[in-house]
Structure 1
Amino acid sequence: MPITRDLVVRGEDWYGRELGAGDVFEDCVFYDTDWTEGVSEGASFDRCAFSGVRFNASRHAGSAFTNCSFRRCVFFDARFEGCKAVGSRFQESEFRLFAVDGGDWSYAALGGADLRRAELTGVRLREADLAGARLDDAEVTRCDLSGARLRGAVLRGADLRGSDLSALDPRAVEAAGARIDLQQAAVLATALGYRVT
Structure 2
Amino acid sequence: MNFPSKLIENAVNEISRLPGIGKKTALRLALHLLKQKESVTEELTLALNALRKDVNYCQSCHNISDAKICSICASGRRDKSIICVVEDIPDVLAIENTAQYNGLYHVLGGVISPIQGIGPDDLKIESLLHRIMSASESEKVEEVILALPATMEGDTTSFFITRRLKEYGVKVSTIARGIPIGGELEYTDEITLGRSILTRVNYSAD
Alignment TM-score, normalising by the size of structure 2: 0.26
Q: Which structure would you say has the larger Rg? A: 2
Q: Quick check: which one's strand share is greater?
A: 1
Q: Quick check: which one's helix share is greater?
A: 2
Alignment TM-score, normalising by the size of structure 1: 0.27
Greater length-normalized contact order (CA 8 Å, ≥ 6 residues apart): 2
